């Protein structure tokens, strides 16, 4: 949900390329864009709420910052892999969509994380085996309900 309009090809298309690049105008109807933005915001709220009620434990049982070390790291990994898929499609000649450029994809991906400066840097996967959208090593973590939940108010 967080990357919904990044993955929607209508995001990269409009009647006028110049207007699209200056004003982020696309072919997604305004009502649907608002719905996407709302859904993305709710997902961020759910993540924030989850980490206000539960804590993530590392493999030896110490609490870690789950929002940053797990959620944001995983989203960053997904973003990196999606960008790498695009690069490979361009390199192999399999990508013929002139509107959906690497630059526009990277811009939209950054927009997803605009309010979260803690997102780890989006970088290419180190090895081909890292080129996966699945959650890496879930067995590394444990989850425990906090004795006292931190207050969190959805925005």
Q: Is residue 152 part of a domain?
A: no
In which band, very low, low, confident or very high, does the pLDDT at 125 lie, cut at 50, 70 and 90?
low
Instruction: Look at residues 119, 108, 106, 104 and name the one whose alpha carbon lies nearest to residue 44.
Output: 119
| Residue 150 in domain | no
Q: How many domains does the chain have?
A: 1
With respect to residue 153, please indicate whether it lies within any of the assigned structural domains: no
Q: Using one digit for the tens of pLDDT, what is the confidence trace for 139-153? A: 789 999 998 888 887
In a domain, 19, yes or no: yes
Domain of residue 36, residue span: 4-145
Judge whether 43 lies within some domain.
yes
Residues in the chain: 155
pTM here is 0.81
Q: Is residue 151 part of a domain?
A: no
Token couple for 41: 């915001």
Average pLDDT over residues 113-124: 71
């Amino acid at each position: 949900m967080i990357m919904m309009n990044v993955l929607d090809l209508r995001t990269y298309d409009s009647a006028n390329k110049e207007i699209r690049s200056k004003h982020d105008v696309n072919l997604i109807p305004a009502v649907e864009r608002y719905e996407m933005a709302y859904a993305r915001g709710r997902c961020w709220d759910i993540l924030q709420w989850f980490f206000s009620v539960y804590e993530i434990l590392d493999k030896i049982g110490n609490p870690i910052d789950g929002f940053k070390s797990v959620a944001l790291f995983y989203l960053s990994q997904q973003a990196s892999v999606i960008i790498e898929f695009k690069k490979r499609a361009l390199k192999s000649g399999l990508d013929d969509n002139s509107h959906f450029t690497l630059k526009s994809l990277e811009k939209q991906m950054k927009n997803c994380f605009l309010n979260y400066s803690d997102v780890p840097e989006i970088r290419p996967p180190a090895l081909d085996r890292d080129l996966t959208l699945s959650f890496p090593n879930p067995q590394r973590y444990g989850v425990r309900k906090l004795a006292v939940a931190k207050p969190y108010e959805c925005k």
